[in-house]
Structures are given as structure tokens and as C-alpha cells.
Structure 1
């Protein structure tokens, strides 16, 4: 017996060394020399993957095995859920449902692989995650959203004016606005969680007014009005006399024509919408990760791979191009001393808003290669919003004013408080970009310049509405938005080289209301392989390559 025992012992050590050298993952009872009689076996890597997705279920030639596999799948899934819940210390505590908690995160349980990875936890990113899980609620379809809590306090998702308008000159923009308005009408049904109270977006119905001061602008308003009416938008086209009769407290001496929305327009609370989306997403299984985006990973393993357009076509190998495809991201958890960690993913969405241009640069966009040399023209622009108290302005008659001079004014709930400001210019964008390059911290950002209101906003506002002459500023804040410096239109769609790197940015001031419809379009693009509700092919990056601009006549805050 002693001789047989000694023989088995040496065989176990030999098998262990062979497994370490060749890394065979096969069942073996002689794994550890101290416990050579253990019955624990190593599982194959297929056991940790989605067997239904990767095709590891029995084939059609084995019907009995397929029946057994289908009947036992639910039991095996329930057992897997039990094991995950038993050893998941994070879920035993409580989930992340509040975005500013920096000390509560499952750092040890960061996913190794997700199907869809979304960069940006604002309205756009949360809307994409919501519609992806609405289409398919299978737990194997994993969705993770990366967010940075330091940037939440200055994004349009929290500090945006929340204006809902359907007056656009591009047909696709009108369709997006129609879908979002219908969603807001039934937001309580869409975002309700089980038997909880439906969320309230605090929607205030107010018409949006655009004014044309020249005959050329009036002709453009008429053409846009025809497009809007054809798509079911209720918009009134008013001349100067009709404007004076409807709004006697306003001046229209320099106005030729104006438009006024009659339905599905107003303002809502962007913070309430974001909170409702996040809570709904968490209930659907979406994971919010707190960290910073560091870069992407590919199959090239550090080798230089020629991209399409960089070398002649006959010298390009399809295998080399496939090796250069993006297969994951690298993130740095938002904690002290954390090192970057890779996450493999199938699709990556760049919905970082004002920081979408920086994300694209970290992914290699805008550097080398003919197609990769085209940068993402998204810059971060700062907008200053002023809350004023105007007791002489009639609260129930004041519309949302979008003046052609560049100023805007909209009611802040029912009362005598209004949110005013001006549209950012290219010089403002350049100034903000300079501050971003200097890496100014949020605590070191410039303070509010109240003289901007009294020197640049108030004179034009009083000229249009004389009742604002007694207005007083009671509050103000900075908000940041993403502006497309190419044509000020959204950039939506796959990258020219990396088809799994999808850009959803450049929404500007109308981002809060368009985010819901764009998220629906992205989910259709993933599951149906085509845009079904609204065709957004006009907004992809090909127009930048061809030099064709997509100009929108109407602005939104």
C-alpha cells in the first residue's frame, strides 16, 4: 500500500506541473499535493459564458438533450443567482441609487465583460440603457454605465432649462421632439417601478415663441412651419398684428413674423427625469460604475496595424484590420490609489456630453490614419443661467421666448420667477476650451459674473418685454453643454472605422428633451439593425467627412 501511495503522490505532482506549463483546464483530482484526494474539478471557460448566446447548447440532431437542456436551464439559472447573491457583499448592503455617494461602490465586483458599455450617466446615457433593457430584459444582456460624480453638478442633465419644443426645420428633429413629447405625457407609466408612486416630472405647459426680424428669416419660418404641420405639430404662424394682439405687453416693432407652439411644449424638471431613469434602470439590472475613462483595448496586442485609408488597399489585410478592432475599455475606479482596469464589451456608446470630444481622443479618434484622423468636433461650452424675479410680467401670459438676438427667457414654474440668459457664442466655446486645457478644478472655476446679465441680457430683454425693467437677479449658475463646432447638429452613429464605437453627442441645448427619443433609436439600431421610429442616418460622421453641413434654423435652450 505504501508503494502505491508513493506512486500516486508522484503522479499527482507530475500532473500538476504539466497543467501549470500547458495551462490545461480539464478535470483532475490531483490538483494540490496537500489535498490530492479532493473531488473539486476545474470548470471549462464555456461554463462562465452565456451558453445560449454563444451556441453551446445541444444541436438539433440531439432532441432529447435539447429538451433536457431547456428544462434544466431555469434551475441552473436560479442556482447561479443564489450563489451570486450569497457571496455578493455589495448586494447584501444596498444598491447604488444616489449618484453622489463616492464611498459606496462594488469596486471588488467590477464586471470583466458586458454586452453594452455606456460612457456618461446623464440623460442621454441613462436613456440608452433604459431602452436597451426595455427591448430585452434577459439578465445575460448586461448593460453598464460609467459616470463621474465630479461632473454631475455642472451638466445640462441637472442644470438644463428643460425646455420641450417641437419647432425645428430638420424633419428628423421634429420627429424626435414628437416622440419625446409623447413619452413625457406618459412618463409615469413608462418609469414606474412595481407598485411605487409614478414619478412626477413637474411638467409646465407653455408655448415656445420664435421671432423673425427679416424677410429672409420669415420665409425660412414658413418653410419650417410646413414641415412641422405635415408631421402633426400644432404651431401657429403669426404676423406682427396678430402678435401685438395676443401679447400686448411685448414689443414687436422690429419683428416681421413669429411662431408659437400650441401643444406638447413647455418645461420640465430634468433632475426628476434623471432620477426616475436611474431608479428604473437599476431595477432592470443596469449597473452604474463610478470612474474615469482611460482608453480602449483591441486585438492587436501592441502591434502596429495599418488602418483603412492609411496604406493602399492592396496592402491591407483583413485579418490585421480585424485585430485592430476595439474589444473593450479601460476605466479607473473613482477611489484613492485605484489602477485602471479593463472591461471587455460588445458595443461602446460615447454619451459623455460636454466631454465626448475628450473621450474620443482617448479612444484614438483624431490622430493617425486617414479615417481616424477626422476628429470629433465636440467642445465643452459654458452657459450662464440667471433666475430673475419680475413682478410686473404677467405670469400666465408669458411664453418661452427665443429671440433672434440670442437671448432666451422661460417661466420657472407658475409665478413671477423666470430663467434668462443668452446663447453661447464661438468665443465662449473657445474660452471654455482654454479653461479645460488648463485643467481647472470645479472648485477653481470662475464665479458668476452678474454684470453679464445687466450688460448683455437685460437691455435686450427689456427692449422686447418692457415689464422686465424692474427685474432683479435672485440666483444664477453655470451649466456645460456639448456643442458641435462643425454645424451645431447632433452626431449620432457608428465611427467610420470602429463600428462598435457609437457616438451620441453634440445635442447642445435640446439634449434633455431629445435624449429619450435618441435612446429609443439606438436600441432599434442594435436589435433591429435599422432605425425604425426615426431615421437618424443624416447625423452620422459621414457628413463631416463629406463636408456637408446640417444646419438647424431654430435654437433651443
Structure 2
């Protein structure tokens, strides 16, 4: 045995589907796939870090929003909210499964320039057309709803209190794994280190493990998070995905607010929200570049020099605060257009992507996992059309630009 409860050696010499990566996407895809009546095959999930110490899943802020600039992302999050609200039903009514509460304290994007305000209005129109409850608010409307803000320099903002906020993504992840295993999904503690293609270079025939074994495969799914490019290169494929650092701080305040703080995206790039009796905030570094896959070093100066000044300026009650926790996570950042890459490769046709989510992977995992399972079984999407995320746009340099990235 390897890590507790994890075998290192696969039980079989070949699998119908081999998934490289067992965090949120490996778990979601395998769970959806294992529950499809038309699928009777073997599924192998290969995870190099069964404690998930370096997984983006373990460092997530576990929020969901419908405030995107691309309609497909709005639709994905609308299904995500449906999945959260009806989690036990999706899990087959299993009495062991707890309900998942979506704490809808909402999101609020603040605009400080006319161009930014117009961009928010355009995004609101897209969201409303998809059924989202987003509204563009004037400064007076924001002040009336949230009188604690200092709105100097703010021209307006987009706001939505319906199905936007925090949810317990860790419990969903645990049940994806547990339920999947009960259905026969096989997880191993190992690492994919190479892939063998057929002579024509059109299919992956086998995956070689770090321990030396080789397993045959019908389909391969790249669910490797920030390491997605390493997995793709095993099949001779390049994708524009790299690990980018994101910093999160939990703080207490001498003067708590009298109501929930929506997830507020300040024009400075800092975001903040309620987190139980505390508050959560974070931002990217000013020099937002690719980092090593194991670089989770905290830069405490970013709190003093960037985050706290922005937080205290926007909410004067936060002038006297104390950091109680902090961590660093990685975005699997798509440098082309900050959108996911999903579906099969056009040449290596049995190699599939669920990559490059650029910070919104956890909230998108129910819809993407379902869609990927449909593609693996039927060769097409049957619930929600995910073809806008296809690899072809990467090869052609054709952007599907998502402007609402935090």
C-alpha cells in the first residue's frame, strides 16, 4: 500500500478511461462517468499527492458566482448552483449525504472608471439574458444597501444576491471520491510519467507510471490542475496553462459589520468577503508570473503593502484588523484567454482536457464533470454545450476571453 487507504499498483493492465489527477476534476469526471447507465467500463484515477497538499482544490476559497462576461460561464454556474442546492438528490438520495448550503451573500464588482462601468453593464446584460439576477447599481444604491463602504471614486457596480456566495466544496469533493469508489472507480497513489501513442500519433495507447507499470487506456483525461501542461506534453501537446500564485488572508476586526459583506471586487484588484465571524480577502501579486509547482511561499509584505490598505480604504471599519490565518494557492491559469480548455484533442483524439480554469474550477466542476462524462460515453455533449471551450481555439489563437477574473 501507499498512502493510507491508497494502493500504488493498478489492479488491471488496461482501463477504459485513465484520469491523470485525482483532485476536484478527476473526482468529478470519474463520479459522473461511473453513474452513467451507458458506461460499464473500468476507470483509473492516478493521483500523485493523495493528501492534496499541493492541489488547487485544497487552497480554494470555495465560492460561486454567475457574474461572468461569457454566457457559457454563466450557464455553467447556474447549473453549479442547482447542483449545490440539490446535492443529496444528485447523490441518489443517499441518507449519509449532508445537505450543502449556498450562503448567498453575493458578489459586488465596483467600477471606478466610465469604461469599467460600461463593461459591467455589458456583462450584466449577458448575465440577465441567461437568467441571472445581476443588477447594475448606482453609487447611491450601493450606499443604501451597504453603508459601511467608502465609495469615493466609485461610479457604480454589479451586484447579485441570488446563488452567489460560499459553499462547502470540500464536502462535495469528498463525496465525489467516496461515491465514485463505491461505484468502482479505482484511485491509486502514483504518477503518470509518460504516454505511448500509436504509430499514426492519433491515440494514446498506454500510460506509464512512476512505479514502472504500464496501463493500456481507451481514453485519457488530463485533470492535472496547474500541472496540466506536463501531462499534455506526454502526448506531444502544448497548452497555455501555468501555475500562478494567489494569496488569501483571514482577518478579525475590532468593529464587525452589521451585515454580511458581499464578495467585493475592488478596483485595486483586492477582493474581500464575509467568512463566518471573520473576513476573507486576497489578491494576485503585482508581478503575476508563472511559479514553480511546489512554490507556496507566503509573501507577507503583500498584506501590509497592498491588501490591508485597500481593505481599510474601502471599508473604514477595517482600519483595525488582525490576520488570523493565511495561505497561498495556485490558479491553473490559461494565459490565452483565462477560460477552460475542455474536450478531446483534434489529432490525439482519445486525449481529453479539463484544464485551465483560471480560478473558477471548483464552482464549474459539476457542469464540466458531467459534460466530460457525456463526451467520453457519447462523443458529444448532451446537457450543456461546452464546445466553446474546445482545444481548436487554442491551436488557432482564437480567444474566448473571460473578462471577469478575480
Q: Is the deviation greater in 219-228 or in 501-510? A: 219-228
Give the distance between the partners of 2:251 and 2:279, measured in 1 at CA: 5
Q: CA deviation at 1:447?
A: 4.2
Match of 2:235 among 363, 369, 384: 363
2:395 is equivalent to residue 534 of structure 1: no
Note the aligned Cα RMSD (angstroms): 2.1
- Paired residues of 1:124 and 1:515 also in contact (CA < 8 A): yes
Q: What secondary structure does 1:396 align onto?
A: coil
- Please identify which structure carries the higher helix content: 1
Q: What secondary structure does 2:336 align onto?
A: coil
- Please identify which structure carries the higher strand content: 2
Match in the other structure for 2:280: 419
1:344-359 alignment runs, 5 A limit? 344-359=216-231
Match in the other structure for 1:125: 26
Q: CA deviation at 1:512?
A: 0.6
- Paired residues of 1:409 and 1:418 also in contact (CA < 8 A): yes
Give the distance between the partners of 1:520 and 1:424, measured in 2 at CA: 33
Match of 1:410 among 273, 292, 313: 273
Q: Deviations over 1:439-462 (max 9, x none)?
A: xxx5xx564332221111111111
Q: Deviations over 1:498-537 (max 9, x none)?
A: 0110111110211110011101111222333322322222
Q: What secondary structure does 1:551 align onto?
A: coil
Q: Deviations over 1:176-219 (max 9, x none)?
A: 0000110000112223674x422244532211111111111212
Q: Deviations over 1:245-293 (max 9, x none)?
A: 1111101121112111121111022222211111111111111111111
2:133 is equivalent to residue 234 of structure 1: yes
Distance 1:253 1:287, change over 3 A: same
Give the distance between the partners of 2:368 and 2:28, measured in 1 at CA: 8
Match of 2:323 among 473, 478, 481: 473
- Paired residues of 1:154 and 1:478 also in contact (CA < 8 A): no
Q: CA deviation at 1:357?
A: 1.0
Q: How many residues align?
A: 406
2:78 is equivalent to residue 178 of structure 1: yes
- Paired residues of 2:121 and 2:158 also in contact (CA < 8 A): no
Distance 1:277 1:150, change over 3 A: closer
2:194 is equivalent to residue 325 of structure 1: no
Q: What secondary structure does 1:121 align onto?
A: coil
Give the distance between the partners of 1:424 and 1:551, measured in 2 at CA: 21
Instruction: Report 1 or 2 for greater relative contact order, CA contacts < 8 Å, sequence distance ≥ 6.
Output: 2
Give the distance between the partners of 1:184 and 1:424, measured in 2 at CA: 31
Distance 1:501 1:418, change over 3 A: same
Q: Deviations over 1:41-93 (max 9, x none)?
A: xxxxxxxxxxxxxxxxxxxxxxxxxxxxxxxxxxxxxxxxxxxxxxxxx9xxx
1:15-414 alignment runs, 5 A limit? 102-107=3-8, 109-136=10-37, 140-149=40-49, 152-191=52-91, 194=94, 196-201=95-100, 203-300=102-199, 321=200, 325-332=203-210, 339-365=211-237, 375-394=238-257, 396-413=259-276
Distance 1:198 1:279, change over 3 A: same
Q: CA deviation at 1:364?
A: 2.0
Match of 1:464 among 286, 310, 314: 314
Match in the other structure for 1:482: 332
Match in the other structure for 1:38: none
Q: CA deviation at 1:412?
A: 1.5
Distance 1:537 1:324, change over 3 A: closer
Q: CA deviation at 1:227?
A: 1.5
Q: Which runs of 5+ in 2 are unaligned?
A: none
Give the distance between the partners of 2:93 and 2:253, measured in 1 at CA: 40
Q: Deviations over 1:322-359 (max 9, x none)?
A: x6531121112xxxxxx321111111110110110111
Give the distance between the partners of 1:329 and 1:152, measured in 2 at CA: 22
Q: Which runs of 5+ in 1 are unaligned?
A: 1-89, 91-100, 301-320, 333-338, 366-374, 437-441
Q: What secondary structure does 2:150 align onto?
A: coil
TM-score under structure 2 normalisation? 0.94
Q: Deviations over 1:117-144 (max 9, x none)?
A: 1111111111111111222376x41111
- Paired residues of 1:492 and 1:536 also in contact (CA < 8 A): yes
- Paired residues of 1:448 and 1:478 also in contact (CA < 8 A): yes
Larger Rg: 1
Match in the other structure for 1:504: 354
TM-score under structure 1 normalisation? 0.69
Q: Deviations over 1:375-427 (max 9, x none)?
A: 211101122211111231315331111122211112212x2x111111345x3
Give the distance between the partners of 1:539 and 1:395, measured in 2 at CA: 42
Q: What secondary structure does 2:347 align onto?
A: coil
